[in-house]
Structure 1
Amino acid sequence: MIILFWMITVLSVVIDRITKYIAESGISEGQLIRAITLGDTDILAFSMHKNTGAAFSSFTGKTMALAIVTAIAMVLITVYFHKQKHKHPLLTVSFGLIVGGGIGNFIDRVFQGYVTDFIRLFPFNFIFNFADICVVFGAILLIVFYLFIEGKYMKQFEEEKSNEQ
């Protein structure tokens, strides 16, 4: 499971960097590229935005503070994951996505002073990037794991452990 964690983490960072490079190379700030429309509604569009804050542009202008908090959080999550005795695949994927997404935005904050956001998706009224998608889906999977799977998984593990003795 350790290899899966690192594969997902690295793949998330690589895809994030590639998509941001493509967006920065092909979209001017203020330009709107409509990819999928339904009547007058943009279902999927691309628009360049330099976000110096966090989600929903909160903490605007606090780029380095956010970078430090992100770095600490990614280290803590990685250490927590590695210390888990029982690494369920869903937990592995979840933490890999969260850490990969966090690293992707961390790289932007440290080297650019802002996070490159470029994806607009109806009905949401905000712009985001692939790293944000990774963090959100990772968090959703984490919630699903702890609400619906962890208890059964740990019970099964304890039963298997007691049968071995």
Structure 2
Amino acid sequence: MIKLSRSRWLALVIAAIIAIDWITKAIVQQRLPLYDRRPLIEGLLSFMHTMNPGISWGFFKNLPEAVRLPLIALLTLVGIGVAVWMMWDTRDRWQQIAGALGNLGDRLVNGGVTDFIYVHFFPYIFNFADISITIGGVILAARMLLDRPAADASTPTHA
């Protein structure tokens, strides 16, 4: 059995997440016309091909392109900066980064992000990269909360 270093495992995870995201988006783009819907579980889950020119949850999609694109670029840079600052000491940042890279690639190639997973009781349509970003955010938040150093017993916790 080949033993991989932590860095190589993380590189494989990133590559796998990006590959799954791009492959699923390509399949949807080729086989499902824009705004068509194919039920998977009637009344609960469908594939519905949409194109989101905005950011997560469709924010900014109605802004003029001359405003939207620079705003998204600025927010992306700020988000990367904040994420790097927050994730400096955590071990699970790669899932979020992989998801963000998947959506960035789609945005650069197609001018928007291909969304297609439609859970009927959820108000937004999303994709594999969005799932990865969300899971990475939850893992990051849990790590930040759970990996805090134990408080010194001699330090008071309140006044």
Q: Which runs of 5+ in 2 are unaligned?
A: 1-5, 151-159
Structure 2-normalised TM-score? 0.76
> How do 1:77-156 residues align onto structure 2 when only pairs under 5 Å count?
77=83, 84=89, 91-92=90-91, 94-147=92-145, 149-151=146-148, 154=149
Other-structure match for 2:157: none
Paired residues of 2:22 and 2:106 also in contact (CA < 8 A): no
Deviation track 1:31-69 (CA, whole Å, cap 9, x = no partner) reads 1100012xxx2x110111110101121011424542454
> How do 1:30-45 residues align onto structure 2 when only pairs under 5 Å count?
30-37=35-42, 41=43, 43-45=44-46
Residue 119 of structure 1: SS of its match in structure 2?
Answer: strand
CA–CA distance in structure 1, aligned partners of residues 113 and 140 of structure 2: 24
Which is richer in helix?
1
CA–CA distance in structure 2, aligned partners of residues 17 and 79 of structure 1: 28
Paired residues of 1:116 and 1:129 also in contact (CA < 8 A): yes
Other-structure match for 1:161: none
CA–CA distance in structure 2, aligned partners of residues 59 and 53 of structure 1: 5
Deviation track 1:117-144 (CA, whole Å, cap 9, x = no partner) reads 1110132021101010000111011111
CA–CA distance in structure 2, aligned partners of residues 9 and 71 of structure 1: 20
CA–CA distance in structure 1, aligned partners of residues 77 and 110 of structure 2: 16
Letter in 2 for 1:5: L
Q: Which runs of 5+ in 1 are unaligned?
A: 85-90, 156-165
Residue 70, structure 1, aligned to residue 76, structure 2:
yes
Paired residues of 1:64 and 1:110 also in contact (CA < 8 A): no
Residues paired across the two proteins, number? 140
| Paired-residue identity, % | 26
Structure 1-normalised TM-score? 0.73
Q: 1:80 to 1:124 in 2, by over 3 A?
A: closer
Paired residues of 2:50 and 2:116 also in contact (CA < 8 A): yes
CA–CA distance in structure 2, aligned partners of residues 64 and 114 of structure 1: 14
